[in-house]
């Protein structure tokens, strides 16, 4: 890793440091049902970022006094594996991870029909295996696939992506380097069918026009990610067809 | 692809795979599944399942999921705790079930004299019916019906809850075939536990393999015939 001067974020030919166009996503891989012991699970890769999500529940909540009489409690843990970063990360939950857990939970809460399961809990575990920027949006993407895989009723899949501004150019799906040396970072998560935003954060400075353009760019990326999510779910049932 | 009905529009075909957030229909249709939700005039799916369309009646058969208790369901429970007047039973649901001693014993009982462990102890399986369940109460089990009670012989096989209808089959075709081919007694409970009772160990093994095969291939066609052939082959291989 070097200083800003060492890395040209936008090259002379207008492409980004890794050769992507400004509005291009990283190569995305998704796999559903990767864990046997969880009710639902998914592994999602955005370029070098790899995130594993597991869902348990609805199940009984302990301690009982935390349960809600009218809906299920949704608990979410975002965690980075010690080996996920270049320098070993302490496995203890950091301030950042605790906040991200909350933010991700709030991005997923509006899609889950938690009112169907009063007094119960739904546990979501997000484990970052390899971090290269955009882990929270990758985590949300993986968690919504895991929820669907667990058979928990959800309004829509949630897809997320981060838009950033580097060297004055708005770019889609920023990675670690672009996040570190760029001017702005804006993670967005949406329920694409219903056109509703469930997560919107902005770190850095964008003009109102840039913000609008960034949101449009994020929406474009999310549509593509959503298509891949649906493909990943469908792939498990290729042989589904007429029966007796 | 849309089918026009009297007033509503259905966008999915019968037996089509639907995913959460998928637009199913619009306008005047009858949604008969708890897994279909409505926004304005539009109906969407909330789970992964197969759509079932009949005129303007819309339903979804879940492909993934867990057991949610329903009053009247036949379940196989596992006793996990013994109380003074009741047992706590695991029925593979988000809620643990309660079986009251007054409901299980066919007589008056005195909590001071009677030890409930004499009747059901931790680890016992019980075939029971759900007599009570709603949003505020945990499910209550009863064994006051013919054929219900403690399971003392045979084996229990667990499968995914969403695969239960497949093991039973349309008009019980699958389960009747399994019983005819193996000669075993089979009780399929709604919570994905299956009680099998076979005359010998070999047949029991074959039946368990067949049930696991049905579970793994639940979404494919011609499964009853394939399973029948599988059982016959296994029987021939083992010289039965």
**A20 vs chain B: nearest CA distance in angstroms?**
31
The predicted model gives A109-120 an average pLDDT of 96
- B170 and chain A in contact, CB less than 8 A: yes
Q: Go through A135-153 and write b for each residue having 16 or more CB atoms within 10 A of its CB, e for each that does not.
A: bbbbbbbbbbbbbbbbbbb
**Closest CB from B19, B66, B135 relative to A118:** B135
Is residue B162 assigned to a domain?
A: yes
Write out chain B's pLDDT in tens, 240 residues.
555 555 678 999 988 899 999 999 999 889 889 999 999 999 999 999 989 998 888 999 898 889 999 999 999 999 999 998 999 999 999 999 999 998 888 777 788 888 899 999 999 999 999 999 999 999 999 999 899 999 999 999 999 999 999 999 989 999 999 999 999 999 999 999 999 999 999 999 999 999 999 998 887 788 999 999 999 999 999 988
Query: Which residue of B14, B50, B64, B226 is the best one to mutate when testing the A interface, meaning the one whose CB has the most A CBs within 10 A?
Result: B64
Q: Which residues of B touch A193 (CB under 8 A)?
A: 21-23, 44
**Closest CB from A72, A149, A156 relative to B64:** A149
Q: Note whether B169 and B132 are same-domain residues.
A: no
Is residue B69 assigned to a domain?
A: no
- Chain-chain contact of A157 with B65 (C-beta, under 8 angstroms): no
- B46 and chain A in contact, CB less than 8 A: yes
Which of B12, B35, B62 is a domain's end point? B62
Is residue B79 assigned to a domain?
A: yes
CATH code, domain carrying B127? 2.40.50.140
- DSSP letters spanning A173-197: S--HHHHHHSSEEEEEEEETTTTEE
Is residue B36 assigned to a domain?
A: yes
Q: Note whether B111 and B90 are same-domain residues.
A: yes
Q: A88 pLDDT exceeds 60?
A: yes
Q: A5 pLDDT exceeds 70?
A: no
> Could you give the CA distance from residue A16 to residue A7 in angstroms, rounded to a whole number?
10
Number of Cβ within a 10 Å radius of residue B156: 14
SS3 B176: helix
Is residue B147 assigned to a domain?
A: yes
* Domain region containing B109: 74-151
- B162 and chain A in contact, CB less than 8 A: yes
> Could you give the CA distance from residue A189 to residue A141 in angstroms, rounded to a whole number?
8
> Could you give the CA distance from residue A190 to residue A108 in angstroms, rounded to a whole number?
10
Q: Which residues of B touch A153 (CB under 8 A)?
A: 20, 34-35, 37, 46-47
Provide the mean pLDDT of chain A. Answer: 93
- B216 and chain A in contact, CB less than 8 A: no
Of the two residues A109 and B219, the one the predictor is more confident about is A109
What pLDDT is stored for residue A240 in this prediction?
A: 43
What pLDDT is stored for residue B105 in this prediction?
A: 81
Q: Note whether B144 and B164 are same-domain residues.
A: no
Closest-CA residue in chain A for B225?
A244
Q: Identify the DSSP state of A10.
A: B
Q: Note whether B224 and B181 are same-domain residues.
A: yes
Instruction: Please report the ipTM that was assigned to this predicted complex.
Output: 0.89
Total structural domains within chain B: 3
What pLDDT is stored for residue A91 in this prediction?
A: 97
**B133 vs chain A: nearest CA distance in angstroms?**
12
CATH code, domain carrying B181? 3.30.1370.10
- B173-182 vs B223-237: helix crossing angle, rounded to 10: 10
What pLDDT is stored for residue A7 in this prediction?
A: 76
CATH code, domain carrying B56? 2.40.50.100
Sequence-distant (6+) residues with CB within 8 A of A64 are: none
User: Do residues A147 and A112 touch, judged by C-beta distance below 8 A?
Assistant: yes
């Amino acid at each position: 890793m070097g200083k800003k001067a060492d890395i040209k974020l936008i090259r002379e030919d207008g492409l980004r440091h890794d050769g992507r166009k400004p509005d291009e996503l990283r190569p995305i891989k998704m796999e559903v049902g990767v864990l046997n012991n969880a009710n639902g699970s998914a592994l999602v890769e955005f370029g070098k970022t790899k995130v594993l999500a597991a869902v348990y529940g609805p199940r009984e909540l302990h301690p009982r006094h935390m349960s809600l009489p009218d809906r299920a409690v949704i608990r979410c843990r975002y965690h980075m594996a010690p080996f996920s970063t270049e320098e070993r990360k302490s496995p203890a939950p950091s301030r950042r991870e605790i906040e991200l857990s909350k933010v991700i939970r709030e991005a997923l809460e509006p899609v889950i029909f938690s009112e169907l399961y009063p007094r119960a809990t739904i546990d979501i575990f997000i484990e970052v295996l390899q971090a290269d920027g955009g882990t929270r949006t990758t985590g949300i993407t993986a968690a919504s696939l895991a929820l669907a895989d667990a058979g928990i009723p959800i309004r829509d899949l949630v897809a997320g992506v981060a838009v950033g501004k580097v060297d004055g150019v708005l770019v889609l799906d920023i990675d670690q380097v672009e996040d570190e040396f760029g001017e702005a970072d804006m993670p967005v998560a949406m329920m694409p069918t219903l056109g509703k935003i469930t997560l919107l954060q902005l770190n850095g400075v964008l003009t109102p026009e840039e913000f609008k353009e960034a949101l449009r760019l994020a929406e474009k990326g999310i549509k593509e990610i959503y298509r891949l999510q649906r493909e990943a779910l469908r792939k498990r049932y290729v042989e589904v067809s007429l029966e007796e | 692809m849309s089918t026009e009905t009297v007033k509503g529009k259905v966008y999915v075909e019968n037996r089509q795979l639907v995913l959460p957030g998928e637009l199913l229909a619009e306008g005047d249709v009858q949604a008969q599944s708890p897994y279909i939700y409505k926004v304005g005039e539009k109906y969407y799916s909330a789970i992964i399942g197969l759509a079932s369309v009949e005129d303007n009646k819309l339903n979804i058969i879940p492909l993934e999921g867990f057991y949610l208790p329903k009053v009247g369901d036949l379940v196989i429970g596992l006793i996990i705790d013994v109380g003074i007047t009741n047992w706590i039973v695991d029925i593979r649901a988000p809620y643990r079930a309660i079986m009251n001693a007054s409901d299980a014993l066919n007589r008056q009982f005195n909590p001071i004299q009677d030890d409930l462990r004499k009747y059901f102890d931790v680890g016992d399986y019980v075939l029971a019916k759900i007599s009570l369940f709603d949003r505020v109460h945990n499910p209550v089990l009863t064994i006051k019906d013919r054929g219900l009670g403690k399971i003392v012989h045979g084996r229990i096989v667990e499968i995914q809850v969403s695969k239960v209808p497949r093991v039973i089959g349309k008009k019980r075709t699958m389960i009747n075939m399994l019983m005819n081919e193996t000669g075993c007694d089979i009780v399929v409970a709604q919570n994905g536990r299956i009680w099998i009772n076979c005359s010998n160990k070999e047949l029991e093994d074959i039946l368990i393999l067949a049930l696991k095969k049905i579970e793994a291939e639940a979404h494919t066609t011609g499964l009853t015939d394939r399973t029948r052939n599988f059982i016959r082959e296994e029987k021939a291989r083992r010289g039965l």
